[in-house]
Amino acid sequence: MNVLRWREQTRERLNELLPEAVVVLPIGATEQHGPHLATGTDALMAETAAERAVERAAEAAPRPLVLAPTIPVGASDHHLPFGGTLSLRPETLLAVLVDLARSVADCGGRRLVIVNGHGGNRGICSAAAAAASVRSPITVAYADYWDAAVGADLGGTPLPGHAGGFETSLVLAVAPDWVKERAGRSVVPEIPAVTGLEIHRQASWHEQDGFTDEPSEASGEKGQAWLDHLVAVLADRLVDLAKTL
């Protein structure tokens, strides 16, 4: 089955589809990804993961899956000092997501899945899913696409990192022209960590020069294998969701 893209449907077709459909909304970011990776990486990978998972899940899902247009900008204020970044304030992004969920509900949709591609969006996506579900007659689920890569043979590559081995490999598999020359790093600075606590610290980004781990070890072959794995897992989750709701 071809992917049912929201933007390609008429209002009549969407009015027919949405009451029984699961709407899948990818969201990424437009932000600096070090000196070697394109700023659109997060939006590209959220859209790619969502689109391929919807395509794979469509045959097995008991209800239609509708792919909404990707939101290309997220909450990226922590990357603004490096340049090359477009960002919404967290409260603005929260309002955008809640408004979009309301719009889906007002159009008759009753099931929405947010597929996120940017670490800075995580708490906001979770809060938006909770808020939208009590303000509108809609069930909202949320997932970070990279969580579906758990269980793949990552060979020690941090998941997801930022513009490191994982993301760079995925982009090499999908859009290799978006990846520039990658010099090896003599030292990869460690981020302060305490078990059981989530720490936010702007200084860490500057200490790492805005990207994590080792992108020089990335490859398109690794990226394709990891992408195939996470798409399969995400597709299975979409099917399970369509059967459950």
pLDDT in tens, the chain (245 residues): 568 999 999 999 999 999 999 999 999 999 999 999 999 999 999 999 999 999 999 999 999 999 999 999 999 999 999 999 999 999 999 999 999 999 999 999 999 999 999 999 999 999 999 999 999 999 999 999 999 999 999 999 999 999 999 999 999 999 999 999 998 888 888 889 999 999 999 999 999 999 999 999 999 999 999 999 999 999 999 999 999 99
For 103, the enclosing helix (H) or strand (E) is helix 90-106
Helices (H), 30-89: 41-57
Residue range 4-244 in CATH 3.40.50.10310: yes
For 223, the enclosing helix (H) or strand (E) is helix 220-244
- What ranges do the domains of the chain cover? 4-244
Tokens 């909450």, located at residue:
75
The answer for residues whose C-beta is within 8 angstroms of residue 8's C-beta and 6 or more apart is none
Helices vs strands, H then E, count in the chain: 7, 5
154 C-beta neighbours (distance < 10 Å), count: 17
Rg (CA), the chain: 18
**pLDDT for the residue 212:** 93
CA distances to 48, 86, 225 from 54, rounded to whole Å, are: 10, 28, 18
**pLDDT for the residue 184:** 86
The answer for residues whose C-beta is within 8 angstroms of residue 10's C-beta and 6 or more apart is none
**pLDDT for the residue 1:** 58
**pLDDT for the residue 27:** 99
